[in-house]
Amino acid sequence: MAANQSKQSSQISEAASQAYDNAEQKLAEYQQLAQQYGEQATEVIKENPVTSVLIGFGVGLGVGILVSGLLSGSAPASRRGGYNLRMAEDLGRQMLDSVSNYLPDMLTKRFNS
């Protein structure tokens, strides 16, 4: 009986050791993959700085609008919807006016039409 328990204990230890080694290997693979993606993102940002800033601005604006909408949930839906739509359109026009100096003429004409 003691020999059987010792054998089971040994098998459990071996399985735990293999699981740990596998997890450690996967962690190293994922760290390397994350580093590669980070380097690629850095290259894209260096090659396209204006586009990268505009994308970051757009994402931040979108998140801000979503959070604002969630926090101002006390107003009636019909009133809030009309107000937010008008505000979003005005903000969109202001953004296009602000970045029009940085966009190529072809893109500016397309967005303003």
Place of tokens 């926090």: 71
What is the residue type of 42?
A: T
Kindly give the confidence (pLDDT) of every residue in the chain, 113 residues in length, as a single tens digit, with 9 standing for 90 and above: 767 777 788 888 888 899 999 999 999 999 999 999 999 989 988 998 888 888 888 888 888 888 877 777 655 544 555 567 777 777 777 777 776 666 666 555 655 55
Place of tokens 């039409």: 113
Length of the chain: 113
* pTM given for the model: 0.43
State how far Cα 90 lies from the chain centre.
26
Nearest to 20 by CA among 10, 30, 12: 12
